[in-house]
Every structure is written in C-alpha cells, then in structure tokens.
Amino acid sequence: MSKVLVTGGCGYIGSHTIVDLINNGFEVISIDNFSRSNPLILDGIKAITGKVVSNYNIDLCDLEATKKVFEDHTDIEGIIHFAAYKMVGESVEKPLLYYHNNLVSLTNLLQLIEEFRVQNLVFSSSCSVYGNATELPVTENTLTQKAESPYAHTKQMGEAIIENFAKCYPLKYMLLRYFNPAGAHESAQIGELPIDRPQNLVPYITKTATGELEQLSIFGNDYPTKDGTCIRDYIHVMDIGGAHTAALKRMQQDPDGDWANIYNLGAGVGRSVLEAVQTFEQVNNLQLNWTYADRRPGDVIAVYADNQKAVNDLNWQLNYSFEDIMKSAYQWELTLADKVLV
Ligand code: WQD
C-alpha cells in the first residue's frame, strides 16, 4: 500500500482528498498546524473511513520540524501539497504574510523532497492563475494574465518554482488548478470551515439559510451575462479529491511518463450566481433571504473550465452534480450547529 503525505490534510480540500485516498487503498499521513483548520476534521475522517490519520501539528515554514516527518516516514511515495493561505481579500491586506507562508512552506518541502528522494508531487493550484481569462472555456493552454491578488500570485510563483526545481531533480509533478470547489462529503462528517465570515458564495448561502447570517448579497446583476450575475465553475469537493487520487495513480502506473503537467479541475459548466441561489432553494426546499448589491471589486465576469485534459489523461470521473453541491453543503451546515469547534 503506498504511503502519501498530505500537507494541509485537515483543511477543506485536503480532508476530502484524504477520504478519497483511503477509500482507494492509500496509507495517509498529514501535516497540519491548524492555523486555518480544526482538529475535529480528523474525527470526521475517522468516522467516514474508520482510519485514524496521523497528523503532525507543525508549521511547514519550520524546516527542521518538517524534516522530522520525513525521518519518521522514509517510505513516502507521493506528496499532495495543499497547505497554504487562500483568502483573496486577506492576501491583498497582508501580502507579505502570503508570500512568506505560501512560498517558504513550498521551498522547504521541495528541499526535503530532494533530500529524501520523493518521486511524486501533486500541487494545489488555482484557476486564479489565469487572472481575467481571455478565452472561455479556459484550457490549460490559456495564457495566464497578471494575478489579480497576492494569493493568486503565490500560486503562479509556486507553479514556476516547481517547474524550475524539476529541471534539476527527477520529480514527477502535476499542477492542479481548481475552479470553485464547493459542497461536502455526503456523510456531513467533514466540510468547509471558513475562518470568520465566509468570503465564498456557497458557505455564505448556507450560513444565510441557517440564519447565522442575515442576508446574502449577490454582488452585481448588471454584468453582460444571461441573468446579469457572474458566471463560475462550481465543482464538488469530492470530485476535486478524486482528481488528486487519480493523479497519484497515473504517476504510479506510468513512472517513466512525462509527468510535468497542468490540469484544470472544474465541472466544465458555467453557472451564474443567481442560478446557484435558485438551485440551492430548490434542492433544499427553502426560500433564501437575498438581495442584489453592488459589484465586488476584483470579480471577473465569467470563468469556467475545459476539463477534458484531466478527464482523459487522469481517467478522472466526476460523480457529483451541481445539485449535490447545494444539498451536501447545506447538510454539512446543519450538522455544524451541533459541533463544538475547539
Ligand atoms: C463566486 C461568485 C462573487 C459571495 C474564489 C477565489 C479563487 C478560487 C475560487 C481558490 C462571485 C459571488 C460571492 C457573496 C456573491 N479559490 N458572491 N455574494 O471569487 O470566484 O473565486 O474561489 O483557489 O482563488 O477567489 O469565489 O465564492 O468568492 O465568488 O455574490 O456573498 O459569487 O461575486 O461572482 P471566486 P467566490
């Protein structure tokens, strides 16, 4: 059974990916310092899989502390690197926090990959590397534009650091560019845990539905789209997890392959904000308290993926629908009310 190190394993996408890895026979260890996540998620992973995942509560910016993980586990066959700060607005207010955390953690990891001769790396990247995409749907050959935020810039630089490192070290790697991950595992044992007030649409919707937040504002209804609201590519977080497992499997199956690749992880369908709200209301049989508001600075009008390269190269199967996203996100939100978050 292959051993995989997942950094940021207690985060939203990291935890869902760990569930999929375990369900596919991988042995998983995690590094997560809970700066942006909660240890409760480890209980959720155990409840779903029956497995206790060993998590090292250390900061990846601390090279010596991180090295201990590699000394304890000299049989790590692959690494999935999620650990990073990802709040666009916060990155604009605190750019150095983002450059330091997201880049020092990555270069430390690459240093240890070389020292301990790890062969496979999957990197958590983002559709935000495209900036204001010049074509739709976005393909992996779409030119990246100037990053709209320091967060997006750290993802662009992270990709370039890995590409240049792999020119002098025999690393197989995949850069996975997520579109808009949303939803939760159907058990409602794990899900998104926004730090403070949610920035993203779906958790804002679910917290409005439970009454934790008073009203959802739809930022802008005068865009040149079918209903005036922005278009995005919402993809179920379990499908994102499945893509990471598929990526590792492909590199294992084809160790001599040219695995220096970029993949868009989106559902391949553009949905408007209004459509998201209406779908949420329909599948959960409720009325949401929402209103139109001014546009949000920095929002792109429309972005959605051409995901065929990932589907074909990785044998990636998407198993969840837009309706599943809205249903599972709300089910998770409803269970949160009963959880005492440490
Ligand atoms: C989606 C749409 C908002 C909240 C973010 C990150 C990006 C990537 C994907 C990580 C927009 C509208 C939102 C609200 C609203 N993440 N909205 N009211 O900005 O597309 O992308 O997630 O890699 O880096 O920036 O996601 O969920 O914030 O917004 O109307 O209360 O919902 O205007 O059109 P976004 P989002």
Q: Which CATH number covers residue 67?
A: 3.40.50.720
Distance 199 CA to ligand 1 centre (A): 7
Residue 24 lies in a domain: yes
Candidates 153, 150, 29; CA nearest to 79 is 29
Residue 337 lies in a domain: no
Strands 172-178, 120-126: pairing is parallel
Report d(CA 68, CA 317) in Å as an integer: 36
Residue 298 lies in a domain: no
| Beta-carbon count within 10 A of 84 CB | 24
User: Which atom, in ligand 1's list, is nearest to the CA of 125?
Assistant: 23
Residue 314 lies in a domain: no
Report d(CA 175, CA 155) in Å as an integer: 10
User: What pTM was computed for the model?
Assistant: 0.97
Q: What is the pLDDT of residue 256?
A: 86
Residue 113 lies in a domain: yes
Direct distance between the N- and C-terminal alpha carbons of the chain, in angstroms, rounded to an integer: 33
Residue 218 lies in a domain: no
Compute CA distances 219 → 137, 198, 204, 293, whole Å: 22, 14, 12, 5
Report d(CA 148, CA 221) in Å as an integer: 21
- Enumerate residue ranges in the chain where pLDDT < 70: 1, 340-342
Which distant-in-sequence residues (6+ apart) come within 8 Å of 116 by Cβ? Answer: 70, 74, 76
Q: What is the pLDDT of residue 100?
A: 98
Residue 90 lies in a domain: yes
- Count of structural domains, the chain: 1
**Residues catalogued as catalytic:** 151
CB-ligand 1 contact for 88 (6 Å cutoff) = yes
User: Which atom, in ligand 1's list, is nearest to the CA of 231?
Assistant: 34
CB-ligand 1 contact for 199 (6 Å cutoff) = yes
Q: What is the pLDDT of residue 277?
A: 98
Residue 271 lies in a domain: no
What is the domain extent for residue 246? 3-183+234-266
Structure tokens at 185: 């595992």
Compute CA distances 63 → 67, 68, 78, 105, 258, whole Å: 6, 9, 19, 8, 29
